[in-house]
């Protein structure tokens, strides 16, 4: 098994792909043990799969973020991109957002659902963690964008009538069905980046953009953690410690002040 994993890597398979193969074999052997088909799970005891390298984040600079949002003006999904940057909500949380969880009077969103892909279908599921189930307070700009988005959506519903398959979702296809994340990236996000003359990004980098912009303005990491829905503030610090402005200098200066 170890030779097999090594061979896959040598033949160009990524560490992430080989790890998925490892997980499948591990589960199969565990089931075989429970059925007494084999005496032990060799994959668990003696074999290690390669760890996939963490994906490099590519947050937008303030100028780039402004350019993206300016380019998105008038786009059918303008509010989606604005919320992604203003709130740091995950792609699944945005695509699974329902109007019943939007309170425009209070400028707030309750994150209660996330859009998941399972067995080739997109379905609504539970948020990633308990902390992910949260209330997100909106900027005035984000709230106005949602109001305009709702107005456009109601006009589409009126025009299409029974052809519109309303499921209460905020962001939908042109006929009201959930947006496939793959289609969002290929048909909307990638062309938008190209139109804005921005490099290729993952949608998740908009979440990183929100966090880095806030932390660069000295917003306390605890507040950023609550906004993003991280399970603990340590996750926020571990993920974004490199963007905390002058942190090393501040530590040295604080020690100097204490002992001087």
Judge whether 164 counts as a catalytic residue.
Answer: no
Q: Which long-range contacts (CB under 8 A, 24 or more apart) does 81-85 make?
A: 81/189, 81/192, 81/206, 82/141, 82/142, 82/145, 83/138, 83/142, 83/145, 83/146, 84/203, 84/206, 84/207, 84/210, 85/60, 85/206, 85/209, 85/210, 85/213
pLDDT confidence band for 155 (50 / 70 / 90): very high
Judge whether 119 counts as a catalytic residue.
Answer: yes
- pLDDT per residue as tens digits for the range 108-143: 999 999 998 777 788 888 887 888 999 999 999 999
pLDDT confidence band for 167 (50 / 70 / 90): very high
- pLDDT per residue as tens digits for the range 211-237: 999 988 888 899 999 999 998 888 888
Q: Residue 246: is its pLDDT beyond 70?
A: no
- Say which of 119, 121, 159, 217 is annotated catalytic: 119
Quote the pTM value: 0.77
Q: In what order do the strands lie in the sheet with 102-103?
A: 102-103, 108-110, 135-137
Q: What is the pLDDT of residue 1?
A: 82
Judge whether 130 counts as a catalytic residue.
Answer: no
| Whole-number average pLDDT of the chain | 88
- Say which of 8, 86, 90, 208 is annotated catalytic: 90
Please state, for a pLDDT cut of 90, what percent of the chain lies above it: 58
């Amino acid at each position: 098994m170890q030779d097999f994993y090594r061979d896959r890597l040598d033949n160009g398979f990524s560490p992430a792909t080989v790890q998925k193969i490892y997980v499948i074999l591990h589960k199969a052997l565990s089931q075989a043990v429970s059925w007494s088909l084999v005496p032990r799970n060799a994959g668990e005891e003696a074999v290690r799969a390669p760890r996939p390298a963490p994906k490099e984040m590519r947050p937008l600079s303030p100028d780039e973020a402004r350019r993206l949002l300016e380019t998105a003006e008038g786009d059918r999904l303008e509010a989606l991109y604005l919320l992604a940057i203003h709130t740091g909500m995950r792609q699944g949380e945005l695509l699974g957002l329902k109007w019943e969880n939007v309170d425009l009077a209070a400028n707030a969103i309750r994150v209660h659902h996330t859009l998941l892909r399972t067995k080739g279908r997109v379905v609504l599921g539970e948020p990633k963690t308990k902390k992910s189930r949260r209330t997100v307070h909106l900027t005035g700009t984000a709230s106005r964008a949602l109001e305009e988005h709702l107005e456009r959506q109601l006009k589409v519903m009126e025009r299409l009538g029974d052809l519109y398959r309303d499921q209460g979702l905020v962001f939908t296809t042109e006929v009201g069905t959930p947006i496939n994340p793959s289609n969002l990236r290929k048909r909307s996000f990638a062309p938008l980046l190209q139109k804005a003359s921005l490099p290729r990004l993952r949608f998740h980098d908009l979440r990183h953009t929100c966090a880095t912009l806030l932390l660069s303005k000295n917003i306390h990491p605890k507040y950023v953690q609550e906004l993003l829905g991280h399970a603990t503030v340590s996750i926020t610090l571990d993920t974004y410690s490199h963007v905390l402005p002058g942190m090393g200098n501040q530590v040295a200066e604080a020690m100097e002040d204490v002992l001087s």
